[in-house]
Amino acid sequence: MDMQVAKKKLGLKEKYQVMTRDLNWTPTYQKMEDIYPYVHYEGIKIHDWDRWEDPFRLTMDAYWKYQAEKEKKLYAIIDAYAQNNGHLNVTDARYINTVKLFLTGVSPLEYMAHRGFAHVGRAFPGPGPRVACLMQSLDEMRHFQTQVHAISNYNKYYNGFHDFRQWHDRVWYLSVPKSFFDDAITAGPFEFMVAIGFSFEYVLTNLLFVPFVSGAAYNGDMGTMAYGFSAQSDEARHMTLGLEVIKFILEQDPDNLPIVQRWIDKWTWRGYRVLTLVAMMMDYMLPKRTMSWKEAWEIYFEENGGALFRDLSRYGIRMPKCAETIRFEKDHLSHQAWCTFYNYTAATAFHTWIPTEDEMQWLSAKYPDSFDKYYRPRWEFWREQAAKGNRFYNTTLPMLCQTCQIPMLFTEPGDPTKICYRETDYKGMKYHFCSDHCKEIFEHEPEKYVQAWLPVHQIYQGNCFPEGTDPSAEGFDPLKAVLQWYNVVHGRDNLDFDGSEDQRNFAAWRAQATRNV
Amino acid sequence: MSTVFIAFQTNEETRPIIEAIVEDNPHARVNEAPAMVKIDADGRLIVKRSSIEERLGREFDLQELHVNLISLSGNIEEDEDQFVLVWKN
């Protein structure tokens, strides 16, 4: 009788080989360049796709197993949070405005990332990156869905959640994240990987998810903590893919270095500009704060990114050029952004407020070189004016940067009292920029950026009013018409937190939850 | 020397993992933040399967780390027995 011998289990490396590389085949009756038409035009030279190393060596069967486990944990928490009216346990209702910004500004990007990775995965001839991109594409779809599911619970109780998808396409400040991702997915496959896989995922995503999600937990928002950390558990794999793609491209051919360096310079800056929204969430919008934007920047970019770029220096890669500018801006970014939103809150789908005295003390302590000198006096002045009934609303539409689409709110490197303006001429037209970096990005690819859909220009051209609006009619109120076109209800979704329906409802419901009334 | 790090959610599943890492990496620093634990180490950090199994009292596949992982930095060297993060600079 034959002895039953247990088959030797495949080792991690062998299993990965069998279940990814061995599934690949070489076409015989179609030409490679017809099947993979996008891999050459960016100028990146790849000689041997087999040199690709996926350090996690995750195969599809293991992927499904662990993702299913993550989903079960996540939905158990989200259900419990909803069932238990967990939203009434957040520190105070101002907090909920960070979730509004997240849903309208970030979640739609997850969906775009899903599309982007599906597209580039298809474009690469190598099986290693193809499998990694497939997994990331599925991850991003999962992130989008879980975020919408988790946040839909807030939509039952609070304003500013009801039309997030349309807002992402129409509302002025959301054109910043939207145009960032549109820029990435309309680039070639290698640029997309450097833009999103490396610059965003590896260099910047910790700043978005780690302190913000930890902050959500600190403020009692179990739902956001659950989807945030569940998404972040995939992020470690994404970061590794981003780092691997850079090393792989650079090892393949020395001609790739200048192309990759230019992309790193461009996309670190583009991503950093988008994170302006996160800076202001951390410093102004979380009622209980875990760390300042500046501290997070120092840990996750200066320390961690510094280690990364020292590691990549063996390939000739250097720190992104913008690092110096950013080092100067870290004392100012969140303050300048929140001041701007305070001025324009009539046109936002969330509420703003003046920081309390305690919060200003925290800001002074965290920003000893800038807050008391430049920003506290503004808040005190606006507070004084508001108390006198002169709450200041800026009704003049701001000039936008042609590249990042952010209003001209940033100051000159080295002079926080002077707004930074740059301009360039192209085919007889003048274009405006917030910085040298955005100007340089435009000048390298002007034909791409002249097509930007700039919200302010579009409003002035009459493209942002409901159909049938007559802007020449007497008493025409452009702000009112724009808000109607956004589907933002004036006096309910916008303006100050103080006096808002959200504030009243939260106070009433919390009182009901703690007393027998 | 550059710092590598690994961060996990704070829960019952990660407690033995974090204990194992701390014991196997005497040079590591543990930073507790709301709902998360971040472990920093100069140059290199090792996660050993055997140390985790000893605490769990069951077999452990290092890919289970993914379930509660929040973030990491450093180059990854991974096989069945250990998961290493390293910056060689």
Q: Which residues contact A101 (CB under 8 A, 6 or more apart)?
A: A277, A281, A285, A350
Q: Could A213 and B35 be called an inter-chain contact, meaning their C-beta atoms sit closer than 8 Å? A: yes
Nearest CA in chain A to B72: A236
Report which DSSP code applies to A515: S
- Rounded (10°) angle between helices A205-218 and A222-252: 170
Span of A56-65, A477-486, B15-24 with lowest mean pLDDT:
A56-65
Confidence of residue A516 (pLDDT cuts 50, 70, 90): confident
Q: Give kind and range of the element (H or E) at residue B39.
A: strand B36-42
Contact B20, B52 (CB under 8 A): yes
Rounded distance, CA A41 to CA A442, Å? 20
Tens of pLDDT, residue by residue over A141-191, are 999 999 999 999 999 999 999 999 999 999 999 999 999 999 999 999 999
Kindly list the strands in the beta sheet with B69-73, ordered across the sheet, starting from the edge strand earlier in the chain: B29-33, B36-42, B3-9, B69-73
Q: Tell me, what's the pLDDT at A55?
A: 72
Contact A106, A144 (CB under 8 A): no
Tens of pLDDT, residue by residue over A300-312, are 999 989 999 999 9
Q: How far is B44 from chain A (nearest CA, A)?
A: 12
Q: Tell me, what's the pLDDT at A213?
A: 86
Tell me what the mean pLDDT of segment A265-271 comes to: 97
Rounded distance, CA A340 to CA A401, Å? 15
Tell me what the mean pLDDT of segment B4-8 comes to: 94
- Decide yes or no: CATH 3.30.1360.70 for domain B3-86: no
Q: How far is B17 from chain A (nearest CA, A)?
A: 15
Rounded distance, CA A423 to CA A433, Å? 6
Rounded distance, CA A214 to CA B33, Å? 7
Q: Tell me, what's the pLDDT at B55?
A: 96
B-chain CB neighbours of A11 within 8 Å are: 79-80
Q: Is the ipTM reported for this complex over the cut 0.85?
A: yes
Q: How far is A480 from chain B (nearest CA, A)?
A: 42
Contact A237, B66 (CB under 8 A): yes
B-chain CB neighbours of A70 within 8 Å are: 66-67
Report which DSSP code applies to A122: H
Kindly list the distances between the CA atom of residue A505 and the CA atoms of A157, A327, A345, A465, A487, in Å, as whole numbers in the listed order. 8, 41, 20, 31, 21
Asked if pLDDT for residue A1 goes beyond 60, the answer is no
Asked if pLDDT for residue A295 goes beyond 90, the answer is yes
Q: Could B5 and A235 be called an inter-chain contact, meaning their C-beta atoms sit closer than 8 Å? A: no
Confidence of residue A212 (pLDDT cuts 50, 70, 90): confident
Rounded distance, CA B27 to CA B21, Å? 10
Q: Could B89 and A210 be called an inter-chain contact, meaning their C-beta atoms sit closer than 8 Å? A: no
Tens of pLDDT, residue by residue over B18-76, are 999 999 999 999 999 888 999 999 999 999 999 999 999 999 999 899 899 999 999 99
Asked if pLDDT for residue A7 goes beyond 80, the answer is no
pTM score, whole prediction: 0.94
For chain B, which residues make up each domain, given as ranges?
Answer: 3-86
Query: In A51-95, where does DSSP find H-type helix?
Result: 60-83
Q: Tell me, what's the pLDDT at A4?
A: 65
Q: Tell me, what's the pLDDT at A245?
A: 93
Q: Could B74 and A307 be called an inter-chain contact, meaning their C-beta atoms sit closer than 8 Å? A: yes
* Chain A to chain B Cβ contacts (< 8 Å): 96
Tens of pLDDT, residue by residue over A9-27, are 788 788 888 888 888 888 9
Span of A289-293, A348-352, A444-448 with lowest mean pLDDT:
A289-293
Q: Could B2 and A306 be called an inter-chain contact, meaning their C-beta atoms sit closer than 8 Å? A: yes
Q: Could B74 and A57 be called an inter-chain contact, meaning their C-beta atoms sit closer than 8 Å? A: no
Q: How far is A315 from chain B (nearest CA, A)?
A: 13
Q: Tell me, what's the pLDDT at A172?
A: 96
Strand bridging mode B29-33 / A429-433: unpaired
Under CATH, what is the fold of the domain A49-335?
A: Ribonucleotide Reductase, subunit A (1.10.620)
Q: For every residue of A341-390, which 3-state class applies, written as one string? A: HHHCHHHCCCCECCCCHHHHHHHHHHCCCCHHHHHHHHHHHHHHHHHCCC
Rounded distance, CA A35 to CA A381, Å? 63
Residue B72 has its nearest CB partner, among A69, A236, A307, at: A236
Contact A211, A290 (CB under 8 A): yes
Rounded distance, CA B48 to CA B45, Å? 10
Q: How far is B23 from chain A (nearest CA, A)?
A: 23
As a whole number of Å, the CA-based R_g of chain A is 25
